[in-house]
Amino acid sequence: MKSDRFVIGAVLFLAAGLGLLFGFTHGATGFTLGYPVSNTSLHVDITTSGIPALAGLPLVAAGTLLLFIALIAAIVAQFHQPESRDISVLPTKRQEPFDFEE
pTM of the model: 0.66
Q: At residue 7, does pLDDT exceed 70?
A: yes
Compute the C-alpha angle 25/29/35, nearest 5°.
165
Residue 23: CB atoms within 10 A of its CB come to 10
- Domain of 20 in residue numbering reads as 4-79
- Asked if the structure places residue 96 within a domain, the reply is no
**Model pLDDT for residues 40-63, shown as the tens digit of each residue:** 999 989 899 999 999 999 999 999
φ/ψ of residue 25, rounded to 5 = -85, 135
Q: Is residue 89 part of a domain?
A: no
Query: How confident is the model at residue 11, as a pLDDT?
Result: 95
Average pLDDT over every residue of 75-82:
81
Residue 86 belongs to a domain: no
- For residue 28, report the phi and psi dihedrals to the nearest 5 degrees: -140, 155
- On whether residue 95 sits in a domain, the answer given is no
Residue 32: burial class (beta carbons within 10 Å; 0-12, 13-18, 19+): exposed
Any domain includes 48: yes
* Cis status, amide bond into 91, omega within 30 of 0: no
Answer yes or no: is 67 within a domain: yes
- pLDDT tier, 80 (very low <50, low <70, confident <90, very high otherwise): confident
Number of domains in the chain: 1
